[in-house]
């Protein structure tokens, strides 16, 4: 009986968070700033977040929050006030490694799933200004769509460290792609925000129009790494630049 009431309480808390996010574009910031960080500092329990790191140093701290959508999707949310991909602080030489931290957060997916999750099943994404609903930077940590995984396997070994058009379109959108090599523990991961700003003409001046996704893979030469994808919003064609579209929050890729 106690377990049943506990599960009901979790469901009600999740419903409350979902309603709050849907109604308030600053909901993620409020949840982290008003609940997760204070709870971590006071009692060492960051509820409703799964984790808060470096809460006392908000310049580089972040929280991991279970998203309202999907069984396994999590969000990385900085504890500093950053609106999104357009924030200049993300391009500094001392910018926090939010992408590397988001990649490490896949352990929460595996813990919730109850077994290891293949590296190639996991993806990270951040949406553009026009493709998001929240005004606090957050990186989606979730499964990749199976059809995107198949397309990636077909073309990934044609990619190198230069940005180039992804062969064919992905879900009807013309993404740019490049290869990222990473060490066995992905510790040497570069800053994708800077790769975008430095590698695509005019991107630095209009970062808010771009979306990024990072998909884990193993290349034909045996090296583990990632494919980094970027898309630019195009209102005329209805492209809101939301790389979250490449993710499957139901994780069908885990159930072939």
Chain segment 115-171, per-residue pLDDT in tens:
999 999 999 999 999 999 999 999 999 999 999 999 999 999 999 999 999 998 999
Q: Would the pLDDT of 180 be above 80? A: yes
Per-residue pLDDT at 15 = 47
Per-residue pLDDT at 17 = 53
Average pLDDT over residues 90-108: 95
Residue 65 CA to residue 20 CA, distance in Å, equals 14
In a domain, 212, yes or no: yes
Residue 248's CB: how many other CB atoms inside 10 A? 22
Residue 25 CA to residue 218 CA, distance in Å, equals 37
Summarize pLDDT for 26-67 with one digit per residue, the tens.
999 999 999 999 999 999 999 999 999 974 555 689 999 999
Exposed, middle or buried: residue 14 (CB in 10 Å: 0-12, 13-18, 19+)?
Answer: middle
Which three-class secondary structure state does DSSP give residue 57? coil
Summarize pLDDT for 190-205 with one digit per residue, the tens.
999 999 999 999 999 9
In a domain, 18, yes or no: no
The total number of structural domains that make up the chain: 1
Assign residue 149 the CATH number of its domain. 3.30.428.30
Residue 144 CA to residue 251 CA, distance in Å, equals 7
Domain carrying residue 166: 49-254
226 contact partners, CB below 8 Å, separation of at least 6 = 179, 180, 182, 189, 214, 215, 216, 217
In a domain, 124, yes or no: yes
Q: Would the pLDDT of 18 be above 80? A: no
Q: Would the pLDDT of 243 be above 90? A: yes
In a domain, 120, yes or no: yes
R_g of the chain, CA atoms, integer Å: 18
Residue 207 phi, psi dihedral angles, 5° rounding: -60, -35
Give Cα 149 to chain centroid, integer Å: 16
Per-residue pLDDT at 6 = 38
In a domain, 20, yes or no: no
Average pLDDT over residues 4-31: 63
Per-residue pLDDT at 7 = 42
In a domain, 2, yes or no: no
21 confidence band (pLDDT: 50, 70, 90) = low
Per-residue pLDDT at 236 = 92
In a domain, 235, yes or no: yes
In a domain, 21, yes or no: no
Q: In sequence order, what DSSP letters do the residues of 62-116 get, joined into one string?
A: EEEEE-SSSSS-EEEEESS---STT-GGGGSTT---HHHHHHHTHHHHHHHHTS-
Per-residue pLDDT at 20 = 55
Burial 57-84 (b: 16+ CB within 10 A, else e): eeebbbbbbbbbebebbbbbbbbbebeb
Q: In sequence order, what DSSP letters do the residues of 127-157 get, joined into one string?
A: --STT-S-SS--EEEEEBPHHHHHHHHHHGG
Per-residue pLDDT at 24 = 94
Summarize pLDDT for 213-241 with one digit per residue, the tens.
999 999 999 999 999 999 999 999 999 99
Per-residue pLDDT at 183 = 62
Picking from 15-19, 70-74, 202-206, which range would have the lowest pLDDT averaged per residue?
Answer: 15-19
175 contact partners, CB below 8 Å, separation of at least 6 = 165, 166, 169, 229, 230, 231
């Amino acid at each position: 009986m106690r377990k049943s009431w506990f599960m009901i309480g979790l469901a009600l808390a999740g419903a409350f968070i979902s309603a709050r996010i849907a109604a308030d574009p600053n909901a993620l910031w409020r949840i982290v700033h008003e609940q997760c960080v204070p709870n971590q500092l006071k009692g060492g329990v960051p509820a409703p977040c799964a984790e808060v790191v470096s809460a006392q140093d908000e310049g580089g701290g972040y929280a991991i929050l279970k998203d309202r959508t999907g069984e396994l999707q999590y969000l990385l949310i900085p504890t500093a006030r950053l609106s999104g991909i357009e924030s200049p602080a993300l391009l500094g030489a001392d910018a926090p490694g939010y992408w590397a931290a988001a990649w490490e957060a896949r352990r929460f997916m595996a813990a919730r799933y109850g077994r290891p999750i293949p590296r190639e099943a996991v993806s990270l994404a951040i949406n553009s200004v026009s493709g998001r609903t929240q005004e606090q930077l957050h990186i989606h940590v979730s499964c990749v769509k199976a059809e995107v995984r198949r397309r990636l396997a077909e073309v990934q070994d044609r990619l190198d460290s230069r940005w180039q058009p992804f062969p064919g379109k992905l879900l009807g959108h013309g993404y740019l792609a490049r290869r990222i090599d990473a060490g066995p523990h992905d510790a040497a991961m570069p800053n994708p925000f800077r790769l975008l700003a430095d590698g695509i003409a005019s991107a630095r001046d209009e970062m808010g129009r771009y979306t990024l996704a990072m998909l884990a893979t193993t290349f034909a030469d045996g090296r583990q790494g990632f494919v980094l994808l970027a898309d630019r919003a195009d209102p005329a064609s209805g492209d809101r630049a939301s790389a979250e579209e490449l993710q499957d929050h139901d994780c069908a890729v885990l159930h072939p």
